[in-house]
Amino acid sequence: MDRREAMLREMNLYPLWVRRDLPAPQAAEVEAPAPLERVAAVEAAAALPQTYEAVPAPAAVNEVTTDSAMQEETGSAEAVTEEAGDETVPPDLFAAPHDEDDWTGMTFREHGEGEDTLRAFQRKVAAGPLAGVDWPELKQKVHDCQLCALRAGCTQTVFGVGDQQADWLFVGEGPGEEEDAEGEPFVGESGRLLDNMLIAIGLRRNANAYITNVVKCRPPENRPPHLGEIAACLPYLKRQIGLLKPRLIVVMGKTAATALLDSDATLATLRGRVYDYAGIPLIVTYHPAYLLRKPTEKARVWEDLRLAVETINAL
């Protein structure tokens, strides 16, 4: 059994995924981090008909924290100028949220009528002027962040890993115990599965993909992050997207999908389409941890990955 076959077996994908009319993939093609179009899985996906149309993400979230988009991000349009790194941006925008709002413990559903979107909630949380912030400074800001209670309870922040020029961005939920200990996203069991998923489409975490999470601090007992925690952390992810400028974003799991699409729809409803996220195609799939609990869903993830490859190849 070659490495590719072993990997596909691990994902419950083999031999289901080999299209009969395509040549059998060569192990050598996935051994080295080759350009995407040289990888068999990618070629196979590229051969599929282009049957997907981009679905616009909700207009309110169809943006990233680029050097000019931050004023909308923070809801502080008066305070933040459009100029990258403008000195007049008040430094205290990074201050803790208002006392009147005990928002850090809220969940999406508890948030209440009239304020039922993450975006609306986020307007209350001035996360700071991130426009013009570069990678090292952003990492430092994440490290120093005290916007929610998670920072006090975690060992260290988990910023992200990978090539800062990568075409592919993978977004998970938040660090677990092992990630918290190592300071790197997806290093535990679900991370090993994610690595296999990446390899299946010719990617590697330190070569041609960037991996991060919606929240950068481990929630206690690995619980899902609360709405307020997501809202506080999201500007960091958006700035990462603005800096990375990926050609494609894959969001894994409900938390990441909710955060970036500002939708509380089920994952089953959200997946299978290509969303337009500030001009970047975005694809939703199941979280690797969910796949560990429900391996039969790996088939759907493979469909999603093929859609992702097909989409990036068509750009």
Query: What is the per-residue binding string for ligand URA in 270-289, x denoting contact by CB under 6 A?
Result: -------------------x
DSSP string, 61-120: G-----TTTHHHHHT-TTT--SSTT-TTS-GGGGSPPPTT---TT--TGGG-TT--SHHH
Cβ at position 172, least distance to ligand URA in Å: 3
Question: Site for ligand URA (CB under 6 A): which residue of 128, 160, 174, 224?
Answer: 174
Nearer to ligand URA, 44 or 249 (CB): 249
Give me the amino acid identity at 35: P
Question: Site for ligand URA (CB under 6 A): which residue of 190, 240, 258, 263?
Answer: 190
Which among 169, 137, 143 is positioned nearest to 155, based on CA atoms?
Answer: 143
Can you tell me the distance from the alpha carbon of 240 to that of 130, in angstroms, rounded to the nearest whole number? 10
Which single residue is written with the structure tokens 């010719």?
A: 202
Question: Site for ligand URA (CB under 6 A): which residue of 97, 128, 160, 175?
Answer: 175
| Residue 309 lies near ligand URA (rule: CB under 6 A) | no
Candidate ranges 51-59, 77-85, 181-189, 202-210; the one touching ligand URA (CB under 6 A): 181-189
Question: Site for ligand URA (CB under 6 A): which residue of 73, 179, 195, 229?
Answer: 179
Nearer to ligand URA, 168 or 186 (CB): 186
Cβ at position 57, least distance to ligand URA in Å: 21
* Residue with the CB atom nearest ligand URA in the bound state: 172
In eight-state DSSP terms, residue 295 is G
Question: Site for ligand URA (CB under 6 A): which residue of 43, 63, 173, 195?
Answer: 173
Query: What is the per-residue binding string for ligand URA in 237-266, x denoting contact by CB under 6 A?
Result: ------------------------------
Give me the amino acid identity at 315: L
In eight-state DSSP terms, residue 203 is -
In three-state secondary structure terms, 282 is: strand
- Number of amino acids touching ligand URA (CB under 6 A): 13
Cβ at position 10, least distance to ligand URA in Å: 17
| Residue 180 lies near ligand URA (rule: CB under 6 A) | no
Can you tell me the distance from the alpha carbon of 113 to that of 198, in angstroms, rounded to the nearest whole number? 40
113-172 binders of ligand URA (CB under 6 A): 172
Nearer to ligand URA, 89 or 301 (CB): 301
The CA angle 20-21-24, to the nearest 5 degrees, is 70
Two tokens, residue 45: 């996906």
Cβ at position 258, least distance to ligand URA in Å: 13
Secondary element (H or E) of residue 284: strand 280-285
- Report yes or no: 215 and 227 within 8 Å, Cβ to Cβ: no
| Alpha-carbon distances, residue 30 vs 142, 153, 196, 300 (angstroms) | 35, 40, 11, 22
Q: Own/partner pairs for 24-32, CB < 8 Å, 24+ apart? A: 27/2, 27/3, 29/4, 29/202, 30/3, 30/4, 30/199, 30/200, 30/202, 31/3
Cβ at position 173, least distance to ligand URA in Å: 3
| Residue 213 lies near ligand URA (rule: CB under 6 A) | yes
Cβ at position 253, least distance to ligand URA in Å: 6
- Residues in contact with ligand URA by the rule CB under 6 A: 172-176, 179, 185-186, 188, 190-191, 213, 289
